[in-house]
Every structure is written in C-alpha cells, then in structure tokens.
C-alpha cells in the first residue's frame, strides 16, 4: 500500500521516514519529495508497505502524530491523475483574440 505523509518537517530525510514507519512493518520504500531546482524538501513524502494490514495500522496511529515538533498528516495515497495535454493549465501570453477589435470605442477603425 502506498501511504502519503504531509506536513513533514523540512529536515526529515528518506531514512528518517523509513525508520518512523518500520515500527509497523516492512517498508518497501520511503521517499521525501524534493524541489527539482533547490533540492529542498517540499514537506511531503510517500512510504510503500507490502503488508496492507500493517500499512492501515500505521495510517491510523500516525495520522496526527508529532514528528520533530510538527503534526503530520498520514493517509492512503491517491492514484495520480493524468493531466490532459494543453488543458486546464496556465495561460501564457497577451492578447489571445488577435486581430482588430471592433466595438463602440472606435479603436481599430479607419474613419
């Protein structure tokens, strides 16, 4: 089972996360997500546990727990949804209408 951990202290490393969850069972992988540009933690990570019962117990007991002075959020990770190409994102650039504007103000007219 894949577990999401949020509100992590920025000082937490992959090995810390693994050790924190190993109390509940075997951890297949533990990863703190980092910013690509700075290499700094983004404050969340993922732990993979093979035993679903152990994973559920870890979620139940660790959600709301304190780690290095911060209250963490722990729940089952949701499947990543794919983004549609070219849709729903940011719009860059200026006037997307192009051409002349026609209206009551007289702009763009040759009178």
- Helix spans in 1-111 (H): 14-21, 52-62
Q: Share the mean pLDDT of the chain.
A: 85
Note whether residue 13 is domain-resident: yes
Note whether residue 94 is domain-resident: no
pLDDT digits (tens, 9 = 90+) for 31-61: 999 999 999 999 999 999 999 999 999 999 9
Note whether residue 35 is domain-resident: yes
CB 3 within 8 Å of CB 76: yes
Residue 6: give the domain boundaries. 2-76
Residues in a beta bridge with 31: 46
Look at the chain and report how many structural domains it folds into: 1
Note whether residue 70 is domain-resident: yes
pLDDT digits (tens, 9 = 90+) for 63-97: 999 999 999 999 999 987 776 665 555 544 555 55
* Alpha carbon distance 3, 50 (integer Å): 11
pLDDT of residue 101: 52
CATH of the domain at 57: 3.30.70.330
Note whether residue 51 is domain-resident: yes
């Amino acid at each position: 089972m894949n577990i999401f951990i949020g509100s992590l202290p920025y000082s937490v490393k992959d090995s810390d996360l693994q050790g924190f969850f190993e109390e509940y069972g075997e951890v297949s992988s533990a990863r703190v997500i980092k910013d690509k540009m700075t290499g700094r933690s983004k404050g969340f990570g993922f732990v993979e546990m093979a035993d679903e019962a152990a994973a559920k117990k870890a979620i139940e007991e660790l959600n709301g727990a304190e780690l290095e002075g911060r209250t963490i959020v722990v729940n089952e990770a949701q499947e990543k949804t794919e983004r549609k190409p070219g849709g729903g994102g940011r719009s860059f650039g200026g006037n997307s209408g192009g051409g002349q504007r026609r209206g009551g103000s007289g702009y763009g007219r040759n009178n």
